[in-house]
Structure 1
Amino acid sequence: MNNISTMALDITSNSTFFISAFAAIFSIVNPISGVMAFISITSHMDRTDRLYVAKRCSVIACMIAIIFAISGRYILEFFSITADSLAVAGGVLLFLVAIDMLFARTSRESITSEELSAATHRENIAVFPMAMPMLTGPGAITTILLYTNPSGKGNWQLVLLVIAAILLTFVITFLIFRFSDYFNRVVGVTGMLVMTRLMGLFLGAIAVDFIVRGIKGLFGLPI
């Protein structure tokens, strides 16, 4: 009976962690906002090329995110960064991004109009600016590092859950880009702005939680 209870508790905690990781990663990747840029920079392409860009940028961004999910622990060790310090710094960064999303401003980590106009070839567009930094930028990388190293110790179970959240995020991202015209007609600019603000609100709450946990850890306060 105790084993069953422990297993049920593990499943519940893993599910909660997965949902939290997915919500944070999806919010910071923010494909709903990115679809407007996708429509803009692929407007001169035919349907086949747009599908190619949607698929390629989603795959490349997903691969970048997974690489950081796997190597995050070693990156922190190499630079001698503690999990608590990362939580505070990352929380501040995510909170700034969340403010931009709430007020529908261009994110500080987003791409510029000059970069958009410079991206003309479908190969270049898929890698830059779509995959990096639009989808997997500093905010997304920081979020992944925070979730894969919550205590500064490697935990491959958490890493696998984060990778699953990353895969789900970019499957949805590809589908949104794949059906971008239909999505744009149904949701519209107003709908996209509302959904972006909602994700900004969720991201802001997650950022505050990171900051509080990091400060408590730095000062040895009970969590």
Structure 2
Amino acid sequence: MLGQLFFSAFITLFVVIDPPGCAPIYAGLTAEATQRQAMTMAFRASVIAALILIGFALFGARLLAAMHIELDSFRIAGGVMLFLIALDMVLDRNTEKRTERAEKVKASRPVVKDVAVFPMAMPMLAGPGSIASIMLLSARAHGASEMGIILAALALVMVLAFAAMVAARPIIRLLGEQIEAVVTRLLGVLLAALAAQFVIDGIKGQLF
């Protein structure tokens, strides 16, 4: 019974969080970072996202009810934020910042934008869909043992998300800078479409 619950929770969270889909986007966002910086941000993103989802699993329903916030609000807000990130990826606005790499502070590395908290931890990993899913799963849990199984499934998905983000960078870099630029722009378009879908789902939820 507990094994079936673990498998069901794992599949649900894996599909919604989508580690293989988030990984290439992360690689594009961290193209200017060193391998160590990228691994650190990937680790932080996974841990922060896990903590956010654990918090919603344990206290989400009461928190939203107390603040009079509907889940559709998360969908709309998350969609807007993701669209802004996608716009930067498509227009390649980060190229202007590449010239600043020459300005190094003595023994320090170039300043790299930290994407661990936003947009990777939230709303990419801990987005409206994953928040809704973990809240629904936790609502169906009976007792501490079943809740522990659900949280264990979440932990495994986050470990896979971390591994996918770390592995995506070297794979994309092997393809070369031109291919990397094309892939980054293509992923930006897909991310924009995902952002638009979040907004549409949020509006539908409010109207119907």
Alpha-carbon contact 1:57-1:126 (below 8 Å) kept: yes
Alpha-carbon contact 1:110-1:134 (below 8 Å) kept: no
TM-score (norm 2): 0.61
Q: Name the structure 2 match of 1:25.
A: 13
Q: CA deviation at 1:75?
A: 3.6
- Shift in CA distance, 167/122, structure 1 to aligned 2, threshold 3 Å: farther
- Whether 2:116 is the aligned partner of 1:143: answer no
Q: Name the structure 2 match of 1:181.
A: 169
Distance 1:179 1:118 in 2: 25
Structure 2: gaps spanning 5 or more residues = 98-110, 176-182, 188-208
**What are the superposed Cα offsets for residues 104-129 of structure 1, whole Å, 9 maximum, x if unpaired?**
xxx95881223657898756410000
**What are the superposed Cα offsets for residues 139-196 of structure 1, whole Å, 9 maximum, x if unpaired?**
0000000000028xx632222111101110101111111222355579xx8xxx9xxx
- Whether 2:23 is the aligned partner of 1:52: answer no
Distance 2:112 2:10 in 1: 29
Moved >6 Å (runs of 4+): 117-121
Q: Name the structure 1 match of 2:199.
A: none
| Aligned partner letter, 2:169 | D
Alpha-carbon contact 1:25-1:166 (below 8 Å) kept: yes
| Aligned partner letter, 1:114 | L
> What is the number of residues matched between the two proteins?
152
- Which of residues 158, 168, 181 in structure 1 aligns to 2:156? 168
Alpha-carbon contact 2:41-2:114 (below 8 Å) kept: no
Q: Name the structure 1 match of 2:30.
A: 42
Distance 2:124 2:17 in 1: 8
- Shift in CA distance, 63/125, structure 1 to aligned 2, threshold 3 Å: same
Alpha-carbon contact 2:31-2:169 (below 8 Å) kept: no
TM-score (norm 1): 0.57
Distance 1:161 1:172 in 2: 17
Structure 1: gaps spanning 5 or more residues = 1-12, 94-106, 194-223
| Aligned partner letter, 2:116 | A
Q: CA RMSD in A?
A: 3.4
**What are the superposed Cα offsets for residues 78-126 of structure 1, whole Å, 9 maximum, x if unpaired?**
4799xxxx9xx9xxx8xxxxxxxxxxxxx95881223657898756410
Alpha-carbon contact 2:41-2:115 (below 8 Å) kept: yes
Alpha-carbon contact 1:60-1:131 (below 8 Å) kept: yes
Alpha-carbon contact 2:50-2:155 (below 8 Å) kept: yes
Q: CA deviation at 1:52?
A: 1.1
Question: 3-state SS of the aligned residue for 1:179?
Answer: helix
Q: CA deviation at 1:46?
A: 1.2
Question: 3-state SS of the aligned residue for 2:82?
Answer: coil
